[in-house]
Amino acid sequence: MISDVSSNLHTFFVPQMEQLGMKEQPSRHGSLSMRDDEFGRGLLWAHSIGENCLYAFHEFSINEQTRLVEFPDDYVCVTSMTDCSARLCPVQSRYLRERNILSFRQKGGAVSFDLMPNEYHRSYTLCMTPNFFDELPGLTDSERETLVSYLCSCDTNTHSREIGDALESMGHSWAMSAGGACFCEGRMKEIVARLLDGAVKASNDDPREPSTEEKRLAREAQMMIDARYAENITLQSIANELFVGRTRLCEVFREQMGLCVAEYLRDVRMDEARKLLETTDMKAAEISRLVGYAHQSSFTDAFRRQFGITPTQWRESVDLQ
C-alpha cells in the first residue's frame, strides 16, 4: 500500500496514480496499482529501498490525451524506458530506441507533460533524493560529487547494458515475492556500484580521448541507421539531419566505430537480410526492399560481397543444415 512506501518518496508516484485512476491491489512490498478499462491499461509498482530511494516500475497505454501534473522534490534518477517515456524526460536525444538507458536530475517543483493516445510507456526507474548520496557508505565527498555529476551529465544510452539489465530485473513480480525487498536492495547496490565505477573512470579519462560531442555525434548517427536502415538514407542525408558536414561526420564515425558510415549501414542491412532469409519464406526481391535496396540487383551484389554467396545460395545452405 501507499503507506508502506516512505512518505518523503510519495511525490514521485502518487500524483501519477491518482491522475491516471490507478486502483491499489494487494501486495507484499510497496504500492501496486492497476487500471484496465475503456480509458486504458496500466500497472504501477512503487517500492522504497530505504528512506531516500524509490524503485518504480510502470507500464501503460491510454486511449485519450491526458495531461499529468506533478510536484516532485529534487531528485536524480537512472532509468530504462521506452522511447515514448524517454521523450518526456529532461534529456536531449534526437534518436531513441525501443529500450533506452538514461539518467538525469529533476529539479523540484511543478512538472507537466502530455500522454498521447496509444503510446506505449514502460519504465524501470530508481529515483534518489539528495540525502541518498550523503548516506552512501565508504565514499569521500569528492566521490559523491563525481557520481552525482556523472548521473546528471551522461548522454542517453551511454550507461552500460548491465545497468539496464539490473533495472529491468526488478519487475513488478517482486511485489508479491517474499524476497522482493532483499532482491531490490541488492540490485540497487549493484547499480550504484556500477555507476560509481563508471563515474570514476570518466573523471580519469585522458583529455586526448574523444570529446562528449564527438561521442554524441557518432552515437546519434548509429542510432539513426539502426532505426531507419530500411529507408533511402546516405552519409549526406544523415549529416544533414545532424547539422554537421559530411567529412566531419565521416571522420568522427570512423574514429568512434572503427568503420565508415557506409560500411556500418551495409552491415546492418546485411545482418537483417540474413535473418529474414533464415526465418521467413519471403522472396529476395521483397527482402531487398525491406532492408533499404530499391533494386534487387544492388541487394544481391552487396550480399555477395558481404558473405561470398548470393541470397538464394545462403537460404539453400541453411535449408540443408
Residue 32 confidence (pLDDT): 96
Compute the distance between CA of residue 117 and CA of residue 111 in angstroms, rounded to an integer: 20
CA 229/CA 224 separation, integer angstroms: 8
- The per-residue pLDDT for 91 is 83
Which pLDDT value is given to residue 293? 93
Helix, strand, coil percentages in the chain from 3-state DSSP, rounded to 5: 50, 20, 30
pLDDT tens for each residue of the chain, 321 residues long: 898 999 989 999 999 999 999 999 999 999 999 999 999 999 999 999 999 999 999 999 999 999 999 888 889 999 999 988 998 888 876 667 778 899 999 888 888 888 899 889 999 999 999 999 988 988 888 899 999 999 988 878 888 889 999 999 999 999 999 999 999 999 999 999 999 998 888 877 644 455 567 877 888 898 889 889 999 999 999 988 888 888 989 999 988 888 899 999 999 999 999 999 989 999 999 999 999 998 999 999 999 998 899 999 998 887 655
Question: What is the value of pTM for the model shown?
Answer: 0.69
CA distance 93 to 86: 9
At residue 204, the 3 state secondary structure works out as: coil
Alpha-carbon span 52 to 287, nearest angstrom: 52
Please state whether 74 falls in left (phi above 0), alpha (psi between -120 and 50) or beta. Answer: beta
Q: What is the spatial distance between Cα 222 and Cα 45, in angstroms, rounded to a whole number?
A: 34
Please count the residues of the chain: 321
The C-alpha cell of 144 is what? Answer: 559523491
Residue 31 grid coordinates: 504500492
pLDDT in the model for residue 118: 86
